[in-house]
Amino acid sequence: MRQGRDLVVDPQSHAGEVARFLNHVVRGPGRQDCWLWTGAIGSDGYGRFALRRGGWRQVGMVRPSRYALALALAGQPLPGEVRALHECDVTLCVRVVTEQELVAGVRPHVTAGTQRENMEQMVARGRGGGRPRLIARGAGLRARRERALALREAVRSGWDSAAVEEAMLGGQPRLW
């Protein structure tokens, strides 16, 4: 994970990489919908995007949400200490809402924040970061990863609203 270093995504010089990234993103049709990552998913339930840049000895892995934040900066560096926060609480979401969209009432999805804000958000949403018992944390991780896998499966052949809704609910039976 290269969360410790600045990330630059230049629309021109990284055009091929950006295209490869966007190939793994399925956008929900609704105005408030998430845009979901459909590439690799790590054991933590977050996505993984491999960067193979010249000069890097090894493949660098970044979270797709972090890459999306850097992409939105259009070439300006995303500082290493900035964290990608998931306001929508969907780990696979890579949607960065523009200022104009926010003003127009679109809810935020992936936003830039500090490590402190990230921890506060994780605690508030029961994603660890506090001091939960290990067993509870393991179960939470598993559930988060399973939800991510189910969501990815739900959009494998394009956005399927019913399947997405079911995956968001974590496989709970529907109430009818």
Query: Does 88 participate in binding Zn ion (rule CB under 5 A)?
Result: yes
Amino acid letter for position 8: V
What 3-state DSSP class applies to 176? coil
SS (H, E, C) 3-69: CCCCECCCCCCCHHHHHHHHCCEEECCCCCCCEEECCEECCCCCEEEEECCCCCCCCEEECHHHHHH
Task: Please list the residues that pair with 84 across neighbouring strands.
Answer: 112
Amino acid letter for position 3: Q
Residue span binding Zn ion (CB under 5 A) among the ranges 44-52, 69-77, 106-114, 140-148: 106-114
Measured at the CA of 36, the angle between CA 123 and CA 26, to 5 degrees, comes to 170
Give min distance, CB of 167 to Zn ion, in A: 13
- Neighbouring CB atoms inside 10 A of 26's CB total 22
Inter-residue contact 2 to 9 (CB < 8 Å): no
Query: Does 34 participate in binding Zn ion (rule CB under 5 A)?
Result: yes
Exactly one of 93, 97, 155, 167 binds Zn ion (CB under 5 A); that residue is 93
Residue span binding Zn ion (CB under 5 A) among the ranges 32-40, 57-65, 133-141, 153-161: 32-40
Residue span binding Zn ion (CB under 5 A) among the ranges 53-61, 62-70, 105-113, 123-131: 105-113
Query: Does 109 participate in binding Zn ion (rule CB under 5 A)?
Result: yes
Query: Does 154 participate in binding Zn ion (rule CB under 5 A)?
Result: no
Give min distance, CB of 94 to Zn ion, in A: 8
Residue span binding Zn ion (CB under 5 A) among the ranges 41-49, 55-63, 108-116, 158-166: 108-116
User: 10 vs 101, which CB is nearer to Zn ion?
Assistant: 101
Give min distance, CB of 34 to Zn ion, in A: 3
Query: Does 127 participate in binding Zn ion (rule CB under 5 A)?
Result: no
Task: Please list the residues that pair with 61 across neighbouring strands.
Answer: 50
Query: Does 90 participate in binding Zn ion (rule CB under 5 A)?
Result: yes
Q: Which positions lie near Zn ion, rule CB under 5 A?
A: 34, 88, 90, 93, 109
